[in-house]
């Protein structure tokens, strides 16, 4: 196994870089194809979310693989290589497996323990399979990562440590108050109708929001979301995107998560809706901490499948609502990132009886949908990705996190052993195939020398010879599989090939065959002449 992962995430890069490091669905496909065309890579898969972009590959050369994957990642995500390099991380072999398993369990997420990443890992695997860039190694790796993530959530209480990023964001807006009590009766404006915005709308519906207004560039999707919300007993309506500014003045709460590459809500429009004046000048120190950059590509949310696609068209409104909410909770798009730059100060809800802000805004998009200048508007409270990351860093860790880490460590060891054992299997199969060929040749030679043997005698001799060969090969092949499954055991396959003079091309042919159905293979290894 020569697994390599090169990536950038909320743990390694500031928001100013992550806002531009984005991969659309088309860019992901092109990245995978270009990676496979590169010499060091035999397989490739990409995990692209709003807070991480990772490229996985099976490479034959470590240093060449790192250089090639880093270059390709920079080319396709829209950030120059020189700028991106300081924020890239690299994991190799078992450490790469450990990283993906940790990601699948939610240990590497901004909100520890969140389970939404499992849907994105599933999507990454599906894309690799669709484009035929994921081979045996990456198929095994991603499928096992999904199993490990599910095991962590079923065997531990990691769910108590993690929560939906939507819920976490709403809790921050509520200032510690119960979200259901805080949101009850509020008029909410939801901008976007993708997985994350839909999850936010469903969460607000359950929390008792009085009315939910949906705005989306594709009106059909907005109408579908409003229909499902209405089926759940919530008053819901749809407005076009050009009516958003007008809706601000009537809204109590705004949630935005779109795939736009520019701002959806400016600070000026928010201030105007609140009847305030906004001074666009930004202090020099703040400008340095948060440079204004025009993003170069769409967000990874473009690649997230429609969370409502599984709801039957003829389902009742209540059934559709229930199924949609369940699907969204399991497969919502993940948004979040923590930068290394100092976070922009976040206004807290006033205490000691002071009046709370007139408008609460939650920005779950990356790049951001809502102008960070809204933080300076007295009548508004904005919680965005940066402030969520800051709040999450102070959140207490659940005791079950240690149990999940133990699961990950055990699963990494088991996966590595299985891969190493699988590596030697083609050599063992080729050896036994060669032995069977030798037995068949000797039996044919015996038939020529003793033509008077009857069928019973010939069968008994054949069985005896095969039994002798099987007994001679049994202990060595069992032992070599055990040795090969241990760290550093890859050399045993080479030793076996040398000792028995097995043709490497024949062994390679066996490795490409379906080892679960050897009867369908044409491999016959009689050694090299």
Reading the block at residue 518, the tokens are 């050897």
Query: H-helix or E-strand containing 59?
Result: strand 52-59
Buried b (16+ CB within 10 A) or exposed e, 462-492: beebeeebeeeeeeebeebbebbbeeebeeb
Q: Which of 50, 77, 105, 257 is catalytic?
A: 50
3-class state of residue 458 by DSSP = helix
Strand partners, 235: 211
Contacts 24+ apart (CB under 8 A), 464-473: 465/439, 466/436, 466/439, 469/435, 469/436, 469/438, 469/439, 473/431, 473/432, 473/435
Q: Quick check: is 50 catalytic?
A: yes
Q: Which of 384, 389, 334, 390 is nearest to 363 (CA)?
A: 384
CA 206 to chain centre: 27
Mutual angle of helices 117-130 and 136-155, in 10-degree steps: 160
Reading the block at residue 523, the tokens are 């491999």
Provide the 8-state DSSP code for 135. Answer: -
Distance of alpha carbon 525 from alpha carbon 500, whole angstroms: 11
The number of residues making up the chain comes to 529
Q: Which of 21, 70, 8, 103 is nearest to 300 (CA)?
A: 21
Query: H-helix or E-strand containing 384?
Result: none
Strand order in the sheet with 89-92: 41-49, 52-59, 3-9, 89-92
Distance of alpha carbon 49 from alpha carbon 411, whole angstroms: 24
Reading the block at residue 316, the tokens are 């009742």
Residues recognised as catalytic: 50
């Amino acid at each position: 196994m020569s697994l390599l992962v090169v990536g950038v995430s909320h743990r390694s890069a500031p928001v100013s870089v992550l806002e531009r490091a984005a991969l659309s669905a088309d860019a992901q496909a092109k990245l995978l194809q270009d990676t496979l065309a590169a010499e060091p890579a035999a397989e490739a898969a990409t995990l692209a979310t709003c807070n991480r972009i990772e490229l996985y590959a099976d490479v034959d050369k470590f240093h060449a693989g790192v250089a090639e994957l880093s270059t390709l990642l920079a080319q396709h995500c829209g950030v120059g290589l020189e700028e991106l390099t300081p924020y890239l991380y690299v994991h190799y072999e078992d450490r790469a497996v450990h990283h993906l398993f940790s990601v699948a369990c939610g240990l590497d997420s901004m909100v520890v323990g969140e389970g939404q990443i499992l849907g994105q890992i599933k999507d990454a695997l599906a894309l690799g399979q669709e484009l035929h860039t994921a081979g045996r190694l990456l198929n095994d790796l991603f499928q096992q990562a999904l199993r490990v993530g599910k095991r962590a959530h079923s065997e531990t209480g990691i769910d108590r440590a993690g929560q939906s990023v939507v819920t976490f964001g709403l809790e921050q807006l509520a200032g510690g108050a119960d979200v259901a009590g805080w949101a009850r009766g509020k008029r909410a404006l939801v901008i976007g109708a993708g997985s994350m915005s839909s999850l936010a709308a469903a969460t607000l519906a359950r929390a008792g929001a009085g009315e939910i207004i949906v705005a989306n560039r594709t009106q059909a999707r907005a109408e579908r979301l409003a229909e499902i919300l209405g089926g759940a007993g919530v008053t819901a309506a749809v407005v076009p995107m050009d009516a958003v500014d007008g809706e601000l003045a009537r809204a109590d709460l705004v949630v935005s998560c779109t795939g736009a590459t520019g701002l959806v809500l400016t600070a000026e429009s928010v201030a105007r809706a609140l009847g305030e004046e906004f001074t666009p000048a930004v202090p020099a120190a703040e400008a340095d901490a948060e440079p204004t950059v025009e993003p170069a590509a769409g967000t990874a949310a473009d690649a997230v499948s429609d969370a409502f696609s599984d709801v039957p068209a003829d389902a009742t409104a209540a059934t559709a609502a229930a199924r949609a909410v369940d699907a969204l909770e399991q497969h919502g798009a993940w948004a979040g990132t923590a930068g290394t730059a100092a976070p922009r100060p976040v206004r807290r809800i006033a205490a000691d009886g002071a009046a709370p802000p007139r408008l609460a805004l939650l920005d779950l998009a990356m790049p951001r949908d809502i102008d960070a200048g809204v933080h300076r508007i007295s009548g508004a409270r904005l919680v965005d990705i940066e402030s969520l990351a800051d709040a999450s860093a102070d959140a207490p860790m659940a005791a079950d996190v240690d149990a999940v880490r133990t699961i990950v460590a055990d699963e990494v060891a088991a996966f590595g052993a299985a891969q190493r054992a699988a590596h030697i299997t083609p050599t063992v199969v080729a050896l036994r195939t060669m032995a069977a060929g030798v037995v068949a040749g000797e039996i044919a030679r015996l038939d020529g020398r003793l033509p008077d043997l009857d069928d019973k005698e010939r069968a008994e001799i054949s069985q005896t010879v095969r039994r002798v060969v099987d007994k001679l090969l049994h202990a060595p092949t069992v032992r070599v599989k055990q040795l090969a499954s241990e760290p550093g055991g890859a050399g045993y396959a080479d030793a076996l090939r040398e000792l028995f003079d097995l043709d490497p091309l024949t062994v390679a042919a066996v490795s490409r065959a379906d080892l679960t159905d050897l009867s369908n293979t044409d491999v016959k290894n009689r050694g090299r002449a």
